[in-house]
Amino acid sequence: MAVKKGDLVRAVREKLESTLEAQASDARFPSYIFETKGEVLEIKGDYALVVFGQVPTPNIWLRVDQLESFK
């Protein structure tokens, strides 16, 4: 999936849980990144800055291959 600024996305649990990023920090990801829509604010290389607007949380950098379109 080609991700671009402004796209509505969510994280893919299977692609995120086994990553190096998950092993480097708390592997218990909040459910809202998988269940609610996030908006891509910026793209840098293989990473996208995503804001999840349903809950007051900080923006998060995720690899673009860990994202899918929100349906």
How does residue 1 score in pLDDT terms, banded at 50, 70 and 90?
A: low
Residues listed for the chain? 71
For residue 35, the one-letter residue type is E
- φ and ψ of 49, to 5 deg: -90, 120
What's the pLDDT tens digit per position in 16-69? Answer: 888 887 777 776 888 899 999 999 999 999 999 999 987 788 899 999 999 999
Q: What is the pTM of this model?
A: 0.85
- Measure Cα distances from 18 to 21, 24, 29, 54, 55 in Å: 8, 11, 12, 26, 25
